[in-house]
Amino acid sequence: MSLEKVTLKQAQERAAADVPPRPIRMIIWHHFEVPTARDYEGIVTMHSVRRYHVETRGWGDVGYNWLFAPDGDIYAGRSLTSGDGAHCIGHNDDSVGLGMCLNGDEEDLALFPEMQRNVLALTVTLCEVFGLTAEALYFHRDFGSKTCPGVLLDRAQYRAALTAELRTPRQEGVPPTVNDDPTSDIRR
Binding site for Zn ion (CB under 5 A): 30, 140, 148, 185
How far apart, in whole angstroms, are the C-alpha atoms of residue 102 and residue 70?
7
Helix (H) or strand (E) holding 27: strand 26-31
- Between 118 and 184, whose beta carbon lies closer to Zn ion? 184
Give the CA angle between residues 184, 35, 88 to the nearest 5°: 15
For residue 87, the minimal CB distance to Zn ion (Å) is 6
For residue 7, the minimal CB distance to Zn ion (Å) is 25
Instruction: Compute the CA torsion angle 110, 111, 114, 117 (nearest 10 deg).
Output: 0
CA distances from 57 to 11, 29, 34, 175, 185 (A): 26, 20, 15, 29, 10
Beta strand 95-100 pairing with 26-31 = parallel
For residue 21, the minimal CB distance to Zn ion (Å) is 25
- Between 85 and 173, whose beta carbon lies closer to Zn ion? 85
What DSSP state is assigned to residue 56? Answer: I
- Between 78 and 140, whose beta carbon lies closer to Zn ion? 140
For residue 9, the minimal CB distance to Zn ion (Å) is 27
- Between 59 and 163, whose beta carbon lies closer to Zn ion? 59
- Between 95 and 116, whose beta carbon lies closer to Zn ion? 95
For residue 184, the minimal CB distance to Zn ion (Å) is 7
